[in-house]
Amino acid sequence: MSTSDPAINKVAEKVQVDLVKEKAEILRRYRGLLRAIPGERSAEDSRLIRKAFNIAVEAHKDQRRKTGEPYIYHPIAVARICAEEIGLGTTSVVAALLHDTVEDTDLTLDDVKDLFGPTVTTIIDGLTKISGMQFQTDSVQAENFRKVLMTLSQDVRVILIKLADRLHNMRTLDSMARDKQLKIASETSYLYAPMAHRLGLYNIKSELEDLSLKFQEPDTYSDISQRLKKGEAVRKRFISRFIMPIREAMEKEGFKFQIKGRPKSVYSIYNKMQKKHVSFDEVYDVFAVRIIIDTRPELEKADCWKVYSIVTDFYQPNPDRLRDWIALPKATGYESLHTTVMSPGGRWVEVQIRSVRMDEIAEMGVAAHYRYKDNEEHSSALDNWLGRIREVLEDPGSNALDFVNDFKLNLFSDEIVVFTPNGEMRSLPANATALDFAYEIHTRSVGIALVPR
């Protein structure tokens, strides 16, 4: 067969076109990532992120995901979740782009250290270690687990990036085999969703729970989500009527605010049905509304109570259901004022009142809180937050036990020997063969052509 065979040429052309398209798509996703990174970026930050991107592209260039897509889509997506949905900065974006390189490619930890220094290396090392761990779900080894968490919390970004990694894997779980789906989904609901909850990442927790349920109990999941969809129009109509007088009164008082009806997650309904042995309708019956006010920090507490007073002017509150998490924030940092009131139609409505700042903390975790502190760089703010997590973990009298009890798993060592659910000892793969690969990439800047200058 000669290469002038038209059929072969056609195939070759087609592959080439696809590769060109893919390259463009990789770049498009990379630019999307850059846009998603919060705050201003120094030239040095931009340089580091581009370097990490180039190295990751090169390292994963021959790998594809189960979907057939280029593997690099995954680290880009994980980095984007870190930036956009958790609010992390440059170091985390760099580590997220490289998070699978040491485990899955020829790049070694030493290479990473040479290229990016000790912080990124510690994070990648932690991520590689977690990914080798076998989680046991039928017995509790709280103390061991606490130790491991403490090691990981040397830099909590390890856990945060791991959560972003898991979230993207759950979002793309459709293409996996059924047994893999079940294993990953149960690990997610057992370990990662509670972890996200503990770190105050409400949206991520909720999505992880919903996705787990979708794969673990597909029928229940689709039943509840269909009922939710069916009730959506009624719920919206009811809520808009309910908030009308509140809205008018607040406008009269000169508040700047937003009111949202809060759709319940599939999992939260499922969970209540299970726990309280009630029907879908009984759980669904309680509607929830969130009032978010744009106000100055020194006024936010008083303003929240003013809004409470407006709400209860129109609707009778249930005194047993008043929750003041402003005076006493939850351990996760969650602040909000909750009340449940009776609507004219005899339906209970939960009303959540909070400031914009409190809302960001509720959605993105305590990391968001420190963005509001004055005269502090984002990075040192994050350090404070990590320090707080460490304190909680290290203080046996505080929430440490709760923290640990949330994760019912068994880890015997924070080093390299772990036990499988069958009790078999397993050592993690030793570091891959050291190649001068990355150094060469670095000095010759291979792959830089992928990035617009």
Residue among 22, 69, 103, 187 flagged as catalytic: 103
Shortest Å distance, C-beta 164 to Mn ion: 9
Shortest Å distance, C-beta 100 to Mn ion: 4
Q: Which tokens go with 314?
A: 């129109």
Residue among 45, 104, 187, 324 flagged as catalytic: 104
Give 207 or 335: the residue with its C-beta nearer to Mn ion. Answer: 207
Shortest Å distance, C-beta 75 to Mn ion: 7
395's CB contacts (< 8 A; 6+ apart) are none
Shortest Å distance, C-beta 99 to Mn ion: 6
Give 100 or 359: the residue with its C-beta nearer to Mn ion. Answer: 100
Give 208 or 366: the residue with its C-beta nearer to Mn ion. Answer: 208
Give 165 or 210: the residue with its C-beta nearer to Mn ion. Answer: 165
Active site residue 104: yes
Give 63 or 380: the residue with its C-beta nearer to Mn ion. Answer: 63
Active site residue 103: yes
Which H, E and C letters describe the chain, residue by residue?
Answer: CCCCCHHHHHHHHHHHHHHHHHHHHHHHHHHHHHHHCCCCCCHHHHHHHHHHHHHHHHHCCCCECCCCCECCHHHHHHHHHHHHCCCCCHHHHHHHHCCCHHHHCCCCHHHHHHHHHHHHHHHHHHHHHHHHCCCCCCCCCHHHHHHHHHHHHHHCHHHHHHHHHHHHHHHCHHHCCHHHHHHHHHHHHHHHHHHHHHCCCHHHHHHHHHHHHHHHCHHHHHHHHHHHHHHHHHHHHHHHHHHHHHHHHHHHCCCCEEEEECCCCHHHHHHHHHHHCCCHHHHHCCEEEEEEECCCHHHHHHHHHHHHHHHHHHCEECHHHCEECCCCCCCCCCCCEEEEEECCCCCEEEEEEEEHHHHHHHHHCHHHHHHHCCCCCHHHHHHHHHHHHHHHHHCCCCCHHHHHHCCCCCCCCCCCEEECCCCCEEECCCCCCCCCHHHHHHHHCCCHHHCCC
Query: Among all residues, whose Cβ is closest to Mn ion?
Result: 165
Shortest Å distance, C-beta 131 to Mn ion: 7
In whole angstroms, what separates CA 124 from the centre of its chain?
Answer: 18
Nearest-angstrom CA–CA distance, 50 and 448: 8
Point out which residues bind Mn ion (CB under 5 A): 100, 165
Give 163 or 304: the residue with its C-beta nearer to Mn ion. Answer: 163
Q: Which tokens go with 46?
A: 């931009």
124 neighbors 100 (Cβ within 8 angstroms) = no
Give 167 or 288: the residue with its C-beta nearer to Mn ion. Answer: 167
Shortest Å distance, C-beta 74 to Mn ion: 6
Shortest Å distance, C-beta 301 to Mn ion: 42
Shortest Å distance, C-beta 121 to Mn ion: 17
Give 81 or 239: the residue with its C-beta nearer to Mn ion. Answer: 81
Q: Which residues are known catalytic residues?
A: 103-104
